Amino acid sequence: MKTYRKHLITALSALTLGAAALGAHAQTTDQAAPQARHGMQHQKLTPEQRAQFRAKRIAKLHDELKITPAQENAWNAFVNSMQPPARQPHDRAAWANLTAPERMAKMIERQKQRTAALEQRQASLNTFYSVLSADQKKTFDEKAARVGHRGHFGHGRRGNTAQG
């Protein structure tokens, strides 16, 4: 009986210490999160601030690529094609009244629209990329590798994209 009690007390003590450590870790992570964040992507920006930030990035890339006057038309077409799409309002009430198959069909339709938009962007990218020199391609590839993973060359949204 004493052995059973010892094991029970040991197990309860371990659970208590584990729960306390988990709680302390959660508090530490919550407090450290704002300090660990950096850059503009974690701040709430107004549309004007977003446009200014985007314009600066575009100008910087233009300068780093050393776009020639002969490449300017392809550059402008590329930049225009990479504009973030207009946000579509999400009517939660309308979605709440849909059945599960209807919601899934709407999500599939939205995904098809996103895919079509990406295909148009890819065509513009291919056209622009074809007029770049080897050095410009190397520079562009390095820049695109750093920001392209978020979509829209760094202009992607986070979170559930099905909400529109």
Using a pLDDT cut of 90, give the percent of the chain over it.
20
Question: Domain for residue 123, yes or no?
Answer: yes
Nearest-angstrom CA–CA distance, 141 and 148: 10
**What pLDDT shows up at residue 156?**
46
Question: Domain for residue 25, yes or no?
Answer: no
User: What is the phi-psi region of residue 124: left when phi exceeds 0, alpha when psi lies from -120 to 50, beta otherwise?
Assistant: alpha
Question: Domain for residue 156, yes or no?
Answer: no
Question: Domain for residue 30, yes or no?
Answer: no
Q: Which residues of 80-96 are buried (b: 16+ CB within 10 A; e: fewer)?
A: ebbeeeeeeeeeeeeee
- Average of per-residue pLDDT across 5-14: 64
Question: Domain for residue 67, yes or no?
Answer: yes
Nearest-angstrom CA–CA distance, 20 and 13: 11
What is the per-residue pLDDT across 89-133, written as a single tens digit (0 to 9) for each? 778 888 888 899 999 999 999 899 989 989 998 999 999 999 999
Question: Domain for residue 161, yes or no?
Answer: no
Domain limits for position 117: 46-83+98-148
Residue-averaged pLDDT of the chain: 75
- Average of per-residue pLDDT across 43-48: 79
Higher-pLDDT residue of 64, 92: 64
**What pLDDT shows up at residue 143?**
83
Question: Domain for residue 75, yes or no?
Answer: yes
**What pLDDT shows up at residue 157?**
45
Using a pLDDT cut of 70, give the percent of the chain over it.
62
pLDDT band per the 50, 70, 90 thresholds, residue 45:
confident
Name the domain count of the chain. 1
Question: Domain for residue 78, yes or no?
Answer: yes
pLDDT band per the 50, 70, 90 thresholds, residue 84:
confident
**Residues 30, 35, 40: CA angle, nearest 5 degrees:** 115
